[in-house]
Amino acid sequence: MSYELIGITVLWIFLYGYLIVASIDFGAGFFSYYSHATGKRHLIQNMIDRYLNPVWEVTNVFLVFFFVGIIGFFPDTAYYYGTALLVPGSIAIILLAIRGSYYAFGTYGEKQNRIYTFLYGASGLLIPASLSTVLTISEGGFVIEKEGKVVFLFRELFTSPYSWAVVLLALVSVLYISAMFLTYYAAKAQDHGALNVVRSYALGWSPPTILCSLLVFFAIRNHNPQHYQAMLDLSWMFVVSFLCFLAAFYLVWKRTGYGWAFIFVMLQFAFAFFGYGASHLPYILYPYITLYQNFTSEAMALSLIIAFIAGLCLLIPSLALIMRLFLFNTSYVQGHAPKKKG
């Protein structure tokens, strides 16, 4: 495998990781607020808190990792995306900042503060929309280079059916992934009240997810026919993705194998996401940045890959530890372990 391919694969895996953990996180925040507003807070709040408390900071790192990594491997992305994304990027930063800090204020500071819960829940729903702009503009047509300057075409972005389809998909899949995970977590905690609530969310958000995926598929055909063709060549991946969706839906419907259902959800998104990514290549920003012409120097690529492997040796055991202590520790999940904090 060439350095270029290793680089983009690493980054894509991290973006996928972010997609999953951030969706759970964003969705949980929204459901937390929603349950607050609809008077079901007492049913699901404890469960959500037990999951989110120890991991919220880790979620953020996936994102930082991705954007630092892509600048390292493909420095030209900083130039094009950086110039183009000033406004959507800044909005995403502001939303992330509001969300992260008000989560902490609400959790460790003043519990049950209505405004904090609202800021935290609402911002989480807007972040996926603003972050998905990056994927949208990577398809080309929204950034042009004129007289040596990068110009971002706002109007095109706002009036493009493709960009709205992506925003819609981002929103819906966040709620879907999150509800699916919370269903699994509630089942593990043997918290039947919470399970009923989140299971209905999971089933409810399933059909819209598939509808929106189809919408994006067709929107790409009009927007970037070349990419659409490449996606058709990899169509088996999208078919497998759909089958995984059906399996997940079936399991939750039948009220069995919630763990497997969530694994199928992860596979569903893995196939779709990697299928989308692979068919996007060799372009990183169509048509300005490609995998091969804009890659970093060999010395830097090598040192980044070494650093990455060394980093993983440190991270994987640590992640395993946190999972053993919290996510997969039955007594913690069920709330029997001493629930103490600082």
* Residues 160, 152 contacting (CB under 8 angstroms): no
Q: Is 309 in the site for another protein (CB under 8 A)?
A: no
Candidates 236, 287, 325, 328: give the one binding another protein (CB under 8 A).
Answer: 325
Candidates 68, 211, 232, 246: give the one binding another protein (CB under 8 A).
Answer: 68
Binders of another protein in range 269-298 (CB under 8 A): 296-297
Q: Is 65 in the site for another protein (CB under 8 A)?
A: yes
Binders of another protein in range 1-60 (CB under 8 A): 53-58, 60
Q: Closer to another protein at the Cβ: 61 or 263?
A: 61
- Which residues, listed in sequence order, are joined to residue 145 by a DSSP beta bridge? 150
Binders of another protein in range 96-125 (CB under 8 A): 96-105, 108-110
Binding residue count for another protein, defined by CB under 8 A? 73
The helix or strand, by DSSP H or E, that contains position 286, with its residue range, turns out to be none
**Phi, psi values for residue 272, rounded to 5°:** -65, -45
Q: Report the alpha-carbon distance of residue 173 to residue 152 in Å, rounded.
A: 27
Contact residues for 272 (Cβ-Cβ < 8 A; gap 6+): 213, 237, 238, 241
Q: Is 145 in the site for another protein (CB under 8 A)?
A: no
Output the CA–CA distances (angstroms, integers) from residue 233 to 15, 87, 245, 276, in the order listed: 23, 35, 21, 11
Candidates 156, 300, 327, 334: give the one binding another protein (CB under 8 A).
Answer: 300
Q: Is 338 in the site for another protein (CB under 8 A)?
A: yes
Candidates 6, 243, 315, 327: give the one binding another protein (CB under 8 A).
Answer: 315
- Secondary structure (3-state) at 147: coil
C-alpha closest to that of 226 among 290, 272, 171: 290
Q: Is 71 in the site for another protein (CB under 8 A)?
A: yes
